[in-house]
Amino acid sequence: MFLQYSADHSSLTARLGYSDFSYRGSYPYLDASLGHYLNFDDTRGQTLDGELSYQWRGGMHRVVAGVSFSRDLQASQKNFNSVPAASLGTTDVDINTQVNRSALFVQDTLQLHESLTLSLGLRLDSATGQDDTTSPRLGAIWQVAPDWTLKFLTGRAYRSPNAYEAQFGNATSYLSNPSLQSETVHNYFSKPVPIEELEKLLLQTEVHSVT
């Protein structure tokens, strides 16, 4: 569902969504002692998410601010076999770890000059079982000449682990990691762009907290 209200120099936008995912699978295996058996996956996920944002334009500023959220209504993951788990030296999986996420964000795009635009942004993310994380962003676009534009972007991106990454485990081939922390990625990007000429690209990415 999407709603929007607009006035002369501002607008208010609301979005609400629902997603439903299910997966079932069966996989044949052959064990030297047990013979043929089947392994089963049974997964169901339901999520409610939404966002409310406000945009204002005035003078040299274009400001966007808002909140967003995501709520797991169900995050069921099951894995089991047609033979007792103990006979395989493993355990059945039956988890339903639900994660709630929320965020606050603000960004100001400033038209400092007809040839120079500056963008400043900040986002605060919160998720169940994770530390709050702030992600800043800075961007600049400078039209050096009619046929040249210089772009510079730097920022940090964030992603919290999902239930499969942190909780799924059967004590043998899959090990759960409940203490798994969020990922952060730092980007530095600059690009001088001549029209109809070869682009020169400089891109640096730093990834942290990936285990």
196 pLDDT more than 60: no
CB 14 within 8 A of CB 3: yes
Question: How far is residue 73's CA from residue 189's CA, in Å, rounded to a whole number?
Answer: 38
pLDDT value at position 164? 81
Average pLDDT for the chain: 86
80, amino acid identity:
F
pLDDT value at position 182? 80
pLDDT digits (tens, 9 = 90+) for 102-113: 999 999 999 999
Q: Name all domains of the chain by residue range, CATH numbers in brackets.
A: 2-208 (2.40.170.20)
> What is the reported pTM?
0.77
More confident residue, 20 or 145: 20
CB 207 within 8 A of CB 181: no
- Is 141 exposed, middle or buried, given 0-12, 13-18 or 19+ CB atoms closer than 10 A? middle
